[in-house]
Each structure stands twice: as C-alpha cells, then as structure tokens.
Amino acid sequence: MRTEDEMIDLILKYASEDDNIRAVVLNGSRVNPNLLPDIFQDYDVVYYVDEVQPYIHNYSVFEYFGETIIFQLPDEMGDSFSDNPDRYAYLMQFTDGNRIDLTFCLSRDLEKNIRSDTLSLVLLDKDNRIKEKPIPNDRGYWPMPPTEIQFRHCCNEFWWLMPYVAKGLWRGEVIYPWYFQNLMKGELLKMLNWYFGAQTNFEQSPGKLGRFYEDKFDRDLWGMIKEVFSLPVSGNFWKTLYTMGELFRDTAQDVARHFGYRYPHQDDARVTEFVRLIQTLPQDASSFDP
C-alpha cells in the first residue's frame, strides 16, 4: 500500500504538471485533527481549475493515479448531467487499498468552498489567492440544535414507521420490515445526534454516523445502540424493534427536556401498544380485534 506521503506527492505532482490546475485542497477525515488516522481513510481531493471540460470522461486520470478495482463517475449517474459542468468527480478505489475521491472544480469557487468546509487543507495555491491558509477543524460538522418543528416531525415519523415494521414481521416478510426499520434508524440517528449535541453543548462533532457516540454515552445507552445497529446474527427482530423504541424514547425525552419541547407520550404509548398487539395476533387472523 502506498504511504500517505507517496499519495500526497502523487496528487501534487499531477497538479504541478497541469497548468490548468491552479490550486489543490484536501478535505475530509485525512485533515480532521480529532481523528486517529487509519489506512482506509479516503483522500478527498479537489483540484481547482480554469476549465473543467478537459477532465470529463478522461481516462488518463485513472492511469496516472494507479490501477483501480472499481471507480464511479457520480456526475454522470443522474439524469441532469451538463456538457459544461462547474465540477466533475472521479471516485477511485485502487488495488493497493488506497482510495481517492477526486473533484475538478472551477477556480472561482475556491475561496467560497474553503469558507463553507472547515475540514479544508490547502496543499497548493499557484496564484496565492488564499492569503491566510485555514487550519482544518471539525466545527462545520457539529450538530445543530433542532427547532421544535424538526423535533416534532422526527418523533412523528419514527412512531409512524414502527407499525410498518410490525406488520411486515407478522406477515413473515423479509425485505418489507427491514426497509422500514432502516427508515426508523434514520430518524433515530437524527435524535441521537441531537442528544449528543445536548451532552456536549453542541460544540463537538459526533463523527460520521455516530463515530464518537461511544466516547460520550453511558454504557447502557451504548449497549442499546450496538443491539439496534449491529449486523443481525439471530432472528429476534421483535426484540430489536422494541429496543429501538426504548432508545428513541429515552434520548428524545432528554432532548425535549433540554430544549423545553413537548415529547409525544401519547403517540409513543399508543403505537407501542398497537405493535405489541400485532405481535400476539395469530397468523391466520381474519380481522384485528383489540
């Protein structure tokens, strides 16, 4: 596996050999001072260029940086690709384990993008446009306190989705309950991030997908998170569903107290009771009679 120094040298060498490239910025986890480095961190690189057009579908990019296992051209995967885009990206997974997410972006956006992404390290600035080079920090990734409407909608969506999962489990389906349980997890992650923010005064990042939850949450709470988000090794999905409800309830009530919001106790209680009734319903039931 090529070392970080070798990869950075290669990234800068490509830029120095191309006069169209005016600046190079490294973003993401590689420049996050609060993360311990590991071998699988991506190189999130932005080349700021005078023209993007020369790099569209230019396979010499792959040849320069190494042999790929697989790559993606995300700008061409939608229906709205333009022949004259402001940016164009190559996502490249190399055979030696390294990965580069490389974006060519118009030079006019350099200063704006650096201001908007606090995890930015300027590696090269040929025109000396950035007079004061920013020091990377994760401030731009701290969670934002929820508005009361955001909190209320999150609670409503979580409890609204729960019966979908229960009905799918009762029917003996596989994909249906899994799909809706994942939607529930999305709402749960929102609440966990707000809970993390309340614990840290919204002045720390929880990390991508809760990477730092374990450092801040107590053992019982972390145990529930592991149960809910671990890869399933058994079929006790009902237990996991109830644990999700308990985890959401506990953290949401704390968030509600922190901000003085109202937690929907009635929705919680009625949905939980409804789900428990579904679980006990015989498989050959022709009607629902609570």
- 27-66 pLDDT per residue, tens: 999 999 888 888 889 999 999 999 999 999 898 888 899 9
Secondary structure, 3-state, the chain? CCCHHHHHHHHHHHHHCCCCEEEEEEEHHHHCCCCCCCCCCCEEEEEEECCCHHHCCCCHHHHHHCCEEEEECHHHCCCCCCCCCCEEEEEEEECCCCEEEEEEEEHHHHHHHHHHCCCEEEEEECCCCCCCCCCCCCHHHCCCCCCHHHHHHHHHHHHHHHHHHHHHHHHCCCHHHHHHHHHHHHHHHHHHHHHHHHHCCCCCCCCCCCCCHHHHCCHHHHHHHHHHHCCCCCCCHHHHHHHHHHHHHHHHHHHHHHHCCCCCHHHHHHHHHHHHHHHHCCCCCCCCCC
Weakest-pLDDT range from 66-70, 137-141, 274-278: 137-141
**pLDDT above 90: residue 108:** yes
Identical fold for domains 4-140 and 142-280, yes or no, is no
Query: What kind of architecture, by CATH, is found in domain 4-140?
Result: 2-Layer Sandwich (3.30)
What mean pLDDT is predicted for residues 144-154? 97
> What size, in residues, is the chain?
290
Domain boundaries, the chain: 4-140, 142-280
Q: How is domain 142-280 classified at the CATH fold level?
A: Four Helix Bundle (Hemerythrin (Met), subunit A) (1.20.120)
Residue 62: predicted pLDDT: 84
What mean pLDDT is predicted for residues 106-117? 92
**pLDDT above 70: residue 250:** yes
Residue 163: predicted pLDDT: 96
